[in-house]
Amino acid sequence: MSALVGAILAAGRGTRMRPFSDSTPKPAFPICNRPLIAYQIDMMRSLGIEDVVVLVGHRGFEITRILGDGAEFGVRLRYVEQTQMLGIAHAVGCLEPHIDQPFLLFLGDIFFVARDLAEMPRLLAEQGGGAVLATKLEPDREAIRHNFSVVLNERGFVTRVVEKPRHPASRLKGVGLYLFDVAIFDAVRRTPRTAMRDEYELTDSIQVLIDDGQPVRVASVVDEDVNVTTPDDLLEVNLRYAKSVPAAQLIGAGCRIHPGATIENSVLGRNVVVQHPISIRDSLLLDDTVVASRTSLERVVMTPSGQVACSDPAAAANRDE
């Protein structure tokens, strides 16, 4: 099988991330002072992928400004613009003129913790094409309802994929990471718009692929997948990942912090200024933020133009018990 290329869908508007997404596309949001999309490129590089196509749309120039030609990240980047937002299958269809070999596809607003990604190309080569879907066993049925469920036959091949199922038929959840042969483009062309969202769903394209007799299997290679949809999500993934990176990565270059201030379990971007001896706890301060407050901060995401208070998931869980 020919070498793989990478593809990242980074064109969405991110309406639930407002006001932050008005100026920054979600794949460019920082996770411990690196853009989310950079972690996906790292994962592609771990498989030897050197050519990556990035589909951009809303404020795509911000992504091109951050990533450039890809040399800093060890890849060659090409950019394709999506001018209409008509669903994920439509986005994949926009890539067809630029991809003529198997490709690893990421949804650009999901932060993944993965292992043994090489299992995906191994399976694709073994079955001679089709697709391999990254999945995880998901105990939370609500999480499956927000993604898609996967049903296997006795031989381990996928027979059905169901987008946002109200009643999941299995605990196997698709996570937004796929390996496709070019046959997916034929399936995309024959994908109808959905009645529910009036969009072209990638799960419907995968079902067309299955119904055509193409082999589709799953690879349990993802330990965590966080869809960075809201400011709460952005804060949570930063705080969670901060536990596994060097402390120096959590304070960006050029920060000026009052000597009496304390920073606890927080991430500060570049050129952040803390003017007063306050406590900053469990928070995320983006590049160029000036903190003039004399009141301590806890569980906030702050930018140069304002801040958003975030909920405490542990407290919410306690209330639900």
pLDDT value at residue 319: 35
Q: What is this structure's pTM?
A: 0.90
Q: Within this chain, do residues 70 and 44 fall inside the same structural domain, yes or no? A: yes
Tokens standing for residue 69: 């030609």
Q: What is the rounded average pLDDT for all residues in the chain?
A: 89
Q: Within this chain, do residues 185 and 299 fall inside the same structural domain, yes or no? A: no
Q: Which residue has the higher pLDDT, 231 or 76?
A: 76
* Angstrom distance (rounded) from CA 1 to CA 123: 11
The CATH number of residue 81's host domain is 3.90.550.10
Q: Within this chain, do residues 100 and 147 fall inside the same structural domain, yes or no? A: yes
Residue-range definition of the domain harbouring residue 209: 5-227
Q: Within this chain, do residues 191 and 251 fall inside the same structural domain, yes or no? A: no
Domain membership of residue 110 (yes or no) is yes
Domain membership of residue 238 (yes or no) is no
Residue 289 · residue 304 · CB < 8 Å: yes
Domain stops at, among 181, 202, 227: 227
Q: How many CB atoms lie within 10 A of CB 60?
A: 20
Q: Within this chain, do residues 94 and 143 fall inside the same structural domain, yes or no? A: yes
Tokens standing for residue 4: 């793989």
Residue 318 has pLDDT above 80, yes or no: no
Give the DSSP H/E element, type plus range, for residue 313.
helix 313-320
Domain stops at, among 198, 227, 256: 227
Q: Within this chain, do residues 74 and 123 fall inside the same structural domain, yes or no? A: yes
Q: Within this chain, do residues 154 and 283 fall inside the same structural domain, yes or no? A: no
Q: Which region, left, alpha or beta, applies to residue 209 given φ > 0 means left and ψ of -120 to 50 means alpha? A: alpha
Dihedral through CA 113, CA 58, CA 143, CA 120, nearest 10?
-40
Q: How many CB atoms lie within 10 A of CB 4?
A: 20
Domain membership of residue 12 (yes or no) is yes
* Angstrom distance (rounded) from CA 4 to CA 210: 21
Using one digit for the tens of pLDDT, what is the confidence trace for 164-192?
888 888 888 989 999 999 999 999 999 88
Using one digit for the tens of pLDDT, what is the confidence trace for 246-280?
888 999 999 999 999 999 999 999 999 999 999 99
Domain membership of residue 295 (yes or no) is yes
Domain stops at, among 227, 253, 281: 227
Residue 120 has pLDDT above 60, yes or no: yes
Domain membership of residue 107 (yes or no) is yes
Domain membership of residue 264 (yes or no) is yes
Domain membership of residue 46 (yes or no) is yes
Q: Within this chain, do residues 162 and 41 fall inside the same structural domain, yes or no? A: yes
Going from the C-alpha of 308 to that of each of 5, 129, 300, 314, the distances in angstroms are 38, 46, 6, 18
Q: Within this chain, do residues 144 and 279 fall inside the same structural domain, yes or no? A: no
Task: State the average pLDDT over residues 113-136.
Answer: 94
Q: Within this chain, do residues 144 and 29 fall inside the same structural domain, yes or no? A: yes
pLDDT value at residue 235: 94
Nearest to 104 by CA among 54, 162, 29: 54
pLDDT value at residue 13: 66
How far is C-alpha 122 from the geometric centre of its chain's CA atoms?
23
How far is C-alpha 29 from the geometric centre of its chain's CA atoms?
10
Q: Within this chain, do residues 106 and 201 fall inside the same structural domain, yes or no? A: yes
Domain membership of residue 233 (yes or no) is no
Tokens standing for residue 39: 């972690």
pLDDT value at residue 247: 87
Residue 277 · residue 290 · CB < 8 Å: no
Q: Within this chain, do residues 162 and 292 fall inside the same structural domain, yes or no? A: no
Using one digit for the tens of pLDDT, what is the confidence trace for 290-303?
999 999 999 999 99
Local structure of 248: helix, strand or coil: helix
φ/ψ (deg, to 5) at 197? -120, 0
Domain count, the chain: 2
Nearest to 184 by CA among 117, 96, 121: 96
Q: Comparing 30-34, 192-196, 213-217, 267-271, which segment has the lowest mean pLDDT? A: 192-196
